[in-house]
Each structure stands twice: as structure tokens, then as C-alpha cells.
Structure 1
Amino acid sequence: MSPAQRLATYFHVHLISDSTGETLNAITKAVCARFDNVLPIEHIYPLIRSPRQLERVLKEVDSAPGVVVHTIVDREMRVGLEEGCRRLECPCIAALDPMTAAFGRYLGASLTTRVGVQHALDNDYFNRIEALNYAIGHDDGQGGQDLEAADVILVGVSRTSKTPTSIYLAHRGVRAANVPLVPGAPLPAKLFAATRPMIVGLLVSPDRLIQIRRNRLLSLNETRESTYVDIDAVREETVRARRLFEAQGWPVIDVTRRSVEETAAAIINLLNTRTASGAVEALE
């Protein structure tokens, strides 16, 4: 049987956290993505902060043995978890320990023992909530009257990942609006009048764009042909978009082979470069 035909390997992974478990979930997905045909069956146990809760978790592990990954801070709870995993003969991994140790050696700083400290309701948390509300309210050209409040405005033809990129940026605290390029429809005047936000053009190859659009139409049970997926019309859309971006001097990101995360990272890098340049100009 060839590798492409191999059946996926399923395994249980138990994610135990004294906070929300979001960190563990992200780490596990990133690690599992490095393996072909490996699919984790995730069991998530957030806010585990007492021996009684830990006892319940270990019973769950016993009923579905697998890898145990945790971010437990409390020393006694960690010992209890590790001993329980040894008894059940399940690997127990403290996900953040290697990085924490390396940071500690470099900084010469002591560790905090407060649980859930990474999710404190600080200014960053509220900034992310505000950014998320802004992205939702300014999706696909909505709320165009308030574009000046954005950190970044994404402009592109239909299906260039404008919405998911805006939402991802919001989770990083970046206020992102997005404006679609619709054939025959004028762009809002306030887009060209905006001075505070950075405007970024998103492009994708015509072939890839048609593929994405066809999949979208199929998901809507729409089988009729239209200019939406016509190769000549799509190429014209792409050419017009590129010309617009060049004429306005907007930075352009080709998202053809980029994930949403990679596109967002590129945008954040552009924002950071712009901020750094502004700081240098201010000093001069």
C-alpha cells in the first residue's frame, strides 16, 4: 500500500490545563500537523485546579490511554498528575517546560506560580475583544464610515481570504477592516481618504481563485456557470486589482500559496516595519 493510501492513525491525547486550555490545543495541533496520516482524538480538561478534579481526569485517561500533555503550574498538582501517568504507563509531557527553562536561564528570573496568569483580563485582552468586534462590524465593506479607526484595511477580489485574515489579526489585537473589489461597483471614497490605516492589497492567481470559487459555489449547491468562475473574467479582475494596488502604492501580498496565519504574519510584519520607520522619522 502506497503512503498516499495509508489509513490514518488515530490516538488519544489528553490536554490538561489549569486555565482555558487554548495554549495546549494550539501546541498539539501544530505538532500533529508535522506528521502524515496522524489524527489526534482530543480530550480537553480546562480549569483543573484541585486534587478531586485531577482524580476525575486520571480516570478518563485510564479509560482511553494515550499521550498526556499539560500546563499545570501548581507543584503538588504536577506531582500528582505525573505519578498518576506513571501508574497508567502513559507519557506525561509538560508542554511549556523547555521554553520556560530556557527563558529562565536567559533572564535570570524566577517563575510565577499563579495559575491562569497568561489569561489575565489585562489591556491586551480587552484590545483583542475590541479588535474582534471591529473586524466583524467592518467585514466585506460594512461600517465603511469608520475606516479611519482601523490599523489595517485589506482590499481584494472575492475569495482572497480577507475575512478569515481580518479575524485572525483581531485575535492578535490588530483592528482590521476589509473591502471587496466587486466588478462594476465603486470603492468607498473613505477608503482613499483614510490616512491612519495601512492599506494592503491581497492577490491570488486566477487558476487558484477559480478553484476556490468553484468549491464555494458547490457548497451552496450552485451549479450554473457565471463570470464569477469564468477564466477570462477572473483574469481581468486580477489584472484590475493589481493595477489599482500599483497606482495607489499599496503593499501587496500574494496569498496563492499562503495560509491565513502566514498572510496575517506578513501583515503584522508590515505594520511593525511601518511603526519602526515612523519612530525613526520622529527622532530625526
Structure 2
Amino acid sequence: MEQNLIVYVVSDSAGETGEFVVRAAAAQFHPIHADIRRAPFIQDVSALERVIQRAKLTGGIILFTLVIPELREALIQLGRTQGVECIDLLGPLVESLERQTGKSARQEPGLNHVLDADYFRKVDAVEFAVKYDDARDTTGVLKADIVLVGVSRTSKTPLSMYLAHKKYKVANVPLVPELKPPKELFEIRKDKIIGLTIGVPYLNIIRKERLKALGLPDSAAYAATTRIEQELAYAESIMKQLDCTIIDVSFRAVEETASLIMERIRLQN
């Protein structure tokens, strides 16, 4: 039987360097297959928490190329507390270069990418995703290339950021039973809307871990199975009204879900 090794490549840039290194190392262990799952453009600790949880659930390890010290330290600490092996690819080398040169690293992700027109389109898309994240301004729904809808913790924000780096302008809207969905959702083409759903047990685990990370009891209503079932049923009813594409994000890495979304958008355009 072929043995699989799951490796999550975590980066505050595209993650190409980390993936290349994993593939080179894994080639030394043929016929073991390396299932490489990128988690690119990480910007905050909550995103790291999600990756750690996925790695823990799947028995994977993490290789990371984070140049921002705070994110590096946070991931190392999360790995220790959750029992997930985390391998720092750039940290020791950067520190060694700092000692040798007597200069401090710039600590800016993605400096190996050329600043060109394509780059600035990405910047525009990232700024759009930040501005219209979590329905802060629902007018973004009318301007977006893609609109993501779903309950809390279905990866709407990391997906928005990932797709932004692919030059898509993305708005995302949380679906909460107590809140009426914005009217703008019903004014745009259905092929621009992607509904995100997730399995109850998986979401239960994710929300409990999130509560723990916030120092709150995991028995809170937010993570209760009955509450999750209610939210998912409500979200499904709204998605049916919108007649939109629905993707199950359970056990899917962000880049995998993003690939499905981009393929769907390409087919419809």
C-alpha cells in the first residue's frame, strides 16, 4: 500500500519556495507520496490556528516560510501546544544572515516577486477583500467578481485573500439566522455567488478550538451542535433562494476550495 505524507506549506507569501523544498525532500522517500497543501498569504494568528487544526486532524506536518517574526513565533508555539510538528525553513537562515551581515532583515513577505502591473492588480484585489470582508460594507457585493456566503468559520476570509492574490475582487457575507441577508445578494447574477457549507462535526471541532484560543469555554453556544445545525440549515435555505453554487469545505485546504471556485468562475464566463 502506498504511504501518504501530508505536508502543509504555510507562508505569508505565495508558498512556492516551501512547496519546492518539500517536493525535493519527498523525492528521497519514493514511493511515499507527499500530499502538499499550501496555506499561502497568511496574515494573522487566526489563520495559523486553522492550519494547525487541519494538520492535527489529518496527522500532517507543517513546513513554513514566514518572514514576519510574530507569525513565526505564534506558529511555533501553536505547534508545541497542539502537538503538530512545525519546520521553520527561513527563520534560521535569516537569523544567520543577520549575524553575518550585521543588518536586520526587512521582514517583508514576497520580496522575490517583481513589482509590475500584475502585482498592482493583486494589491487592488487585496484591498477590496479587506474593505468588503464580513459584509462591513454590503455595496461591495455589487462590485465584486466573486461573493462568498456561509456561516462563521467556513474560511470565507482566507478564501477571499487567496482569491485576491489571483486578482479576483471578492466580497464575503456571513449568514446568521438572526440577521437578514443584505438585499444586494439578490440583485447580482447567481453565477457570481459561491455558497460555502461544512459538516457539523468538523465545524464543531473548529469552533471549539477557536473558543479555546480566545480563552473561552468550548461549551459556549457558538460551538453547540444544535446551534451549528440551526445555522447551517438557515444558510442552506438562503443559498437555495440565491440558486448559487455550493461547495463543502470540510477537510479541504483553502487553496483546494479556491481552485474549485476559480474553475467554476472560468466555466461560467
1:140 counterpart residue number: 134
Give the superposition deviation at 1:211.
Answer: 0.8
In the alignment, is the contact (CA less than 8 A) between 2:176 and 2:235 conserved in 1?
no
Structure 2 residue 173 is matched with structure 1 residue 183: no
Q: Any conservation in 1 of the 2:131–2:137 contact (CA below 8 Å)?
A: yes
Aligned residue pairs, count: 190
Q: How high is the sequence identity, in percent, across the aligned residues?
A: 32
Code of the residue aligned with 2:232 in structure 1: it is T
1:24 is aligned, of 17, 24, 28, to 17
- Partner Cα separation in structure 1 for residue 14 and residue 208 of structure 2: 36
TM-score under structure 1 length normalisation = 0.59
The 1:31/1:180 distance shift into structure 2, 3 A limit, reads farther
- Contiguous gaps of at least 5 residues in structure 2: 1-12, 27-33, 36-59, 62-84, 101-110
Shift of 1:29: 4.8
Report which of the two structures shows the higher radius of gyration computed on alpha carbons. 1
How many Å separate the matches in 2 of 1:217 and 1:168?
25
Structure 1 equivalent of residue 155 of structure 2:
161
For 1:124 and 1:234, locate their aligned partners in 2 and report how far apart those are by CA, in whole Å. 40
CA–CA distance in structure 2, aligned partners of residues 31 and 242 of structure 1? 43
Q: CA deviation at 1:196?
A: 8.6
CA distance in 1, matches of 2:166, 2:246: 21
- The 2-side partners of 1:269 and 1:21 are apart by 19
Matches within 5 A, 1:207-222: 207-222=201-216
- How far did 1:43 drift? 3.9
The answer for unaligned runs of 5 or more in structure 1 is: 1-19, 47-55, 61-115, 276-284
Q: Which of residues 220, 240, 247 in structure 2 aligns to 1:253?
A: 247
Q: Contact 1:153 / 1:197 at 8 angstroms: preserved in 2?
A: no
AA aligned to 2:89 is E
Matches within 5 A, 1:1-284: 23-29=16-22, 34=34, 40-43=87-90, 119-195=113-189, 198-223=192-217, 225-275=219-269
Distance 1:204 1:184, change over 3 A: same
Q: Is the 8 A contact 1:156 1:202 kept in 2?
A: yes
SS in 1 for 2:193: strand
Q: Matched residue of 1:201: which SS? A: strand
Task: Kindly state the Cα deviation for residue 227 of structure 1 after the two structures are TM-superposed.
Answer: 2.6
